[in-house]
Amino acid sequence: MADGLSSFWGPVTSTNEWCEKNYVYSSYIAEFFNTLSNIPCILLALIGLVNSSRQRFEKRFSVLHLSNMILAIWNILYHATLYRVLQQSDETPVIWETLLYIYVLYSPDWHYRRTMPTFLVVYGATFAMVHSHMQLGIGFKVHFVILCLLCIPRMYKYYLYTDDLYAKRVAKVYAVTLVVGTLCWLFDRVLCRDSWPVNPQGHAMWHVFMGINSYFANTFLMFCRAQQRGWAPKVVHYMGILPYVKIRKPKVR
């Protein structure tokens, strides 16, 4: 898209150009709304991290929330500068985080517990090296979609085996935000027009919906894992709005 103000960061080197015009509101932020729309994800991930740490959930959930936060920060750096190197620094952690979700989803039933994390680490490292040398474009997107599709059936299985109505509502919000966020991404990517009087900011809305999506996904997974561990999980709400999982671990005698 055409530039507005002069650029503090220099020429755009990213291989992706989103629908938002560059440097319209600030010479320090290439895509203003695409940058700031990551803030909700950071705040929600911070809330999730505090909750999982305070109640001493398994470390995998603290890592999951922390990875959501780090990914949003990398995304801020990428959209603020539109540098190619920061684009890759954003895309590679996306794959790593999806592999982390695969681990959290499948590890409870995995018989070879040491083999699975080793395989995922090697897989993630291999992808990072290949992506850094070949600079995958459509290949990255197809790869990401395939990994996401591996997660969805498992989430649906957990949904079917969950009787708690509040936990099911959390899972439904996860599903709805995933669909709506994806539609926003496609809308921004496919239907972008310079003739629009107002930019609907589809990519920025994708960030917002996926920030909500990741928080609700993590909350639902925490509930399911607590059920597996016999921790009597219960979905409660901050100020009657934001759900989180409260557990009651059995006392060790």
Q: Has 31 been labeled as part of a binding site?
A: yes
Question: How buried is residue 184: exposed, middle or buried, by Cβ count under 10 Å (0-12/13-18/19+)?
Answer: buried
Q: Has 133 been labeled as part of a binding site?
A: no
Contacts of 19 by beta carbon, 8 Å cutoff, 6+ apart: 1, 188, 189, 192, 199, 201, 202, 203
Residue 249 has φ and ψ, to the nearest 5°, of -75, 140
* CB count in 10 Å sphere of residue 173: 18
Q: Has 203 been labeled as part of a binding site?
A: yes
- Per-residue H/E/C for the chain: CCECCCCCCCCCCCCCCCCCCECCCCCCCCCHHHHHCCHHHHHHHHHHHHHHHHCCCCHHHHHHHHHHHHHHHHHHHHHHHCCHHHHHHHHHHHHHHHHHHHHHHHHHHCCCCCHHHHHHHHHHHHHHHHHHHHCCCHHHHHHHHHHHHHHHHHHHHHHHCCCCHHHHHHHHHHHHHHHHHHHHHHHHHHCCCCCCCCCCCHHHHHHHHHHHHHHHHHHHHHHHHHHHHCCCCEEEEECCCEEEEECCCCCCC
Q: Has 58 been labeled as part of a binding site?
A: no
Q: Has 22 been labeled as part of a binding site?
A: yes
Residues annotated within a binding site for Ca(2+): 18, 20, 22, 31
Binding residues: 18, 20, 22, 31, 79, 203, 207
Binding residues for Zn(2+), by number, are: 79, 203, 207
